[in-house]
Amino acid sequence: GENVEQHPSTLSVQEGDSAVIKCTYSDSASNYFPWYKQELGKRPQLIIDIRSNVGEKKDQRIAVTLNKTAKHFSLHITETQPEDSAVYFCAASKGSGTYKYIFGTGTRLKVLA
């Protein structure tokens, strides 16, 4: 069945360093890949997304890359700050005409001051 694997499950970085979270999906028909950030006790918030017609998208300190051939996509956070500490979830969706997100299991990011 459809599956999204996410690694690592936990990640600790020093403030100012970069963080990278990787996801692999199984359904080659997937063409929309959102990333959500969930702070403790709060709702998941969309931080960036990418569609399969592009290979990379950047928004300030956050970027996402997509490799459709290898069926994996990654979240990159540069110049990390303590407020980046949260759980990050990747998801894959078939996009047009469909609806279901398959979520990864999450990465707990800790940015150490």
List 49, 62, 68, 71, residue binding other proteins (CB under 8 A): 49
Q: Are 88 and 75 in contact (CB under 8 A)?
A: yes
Size of the site for other proteins (CB under 8 A): 24
The 8-class DSSP code of residue 30 comes to -
List 14, 60, 70, 99, residue binding other proteins (CB under 8 A): 99
User: Encoding tokens for residue 93?
Assistant: 């969706």
34 binds other proteins (CB under 8 A): yes
CA distances from 89 to 47, 63, 113 (A): 10, 14, 23
Which stretch, 15-23, 52-60, 63-71, 93-101, contacts other proteins (CB under 8 A)? 93-101
40 binds other proteins (CB under 8 A): no
Query: 84: helix, coil or strand?
Result: helix
Tell me which residue has tokens 């469909």: 98
In the complex with other proteins, which residue's Cβ is closer, 6 or 74?
Answer: 6
Enumerate binding residues for other proteins (CB under 8 A). 32, 34, 36, 42-46, 49, 89, 93-106
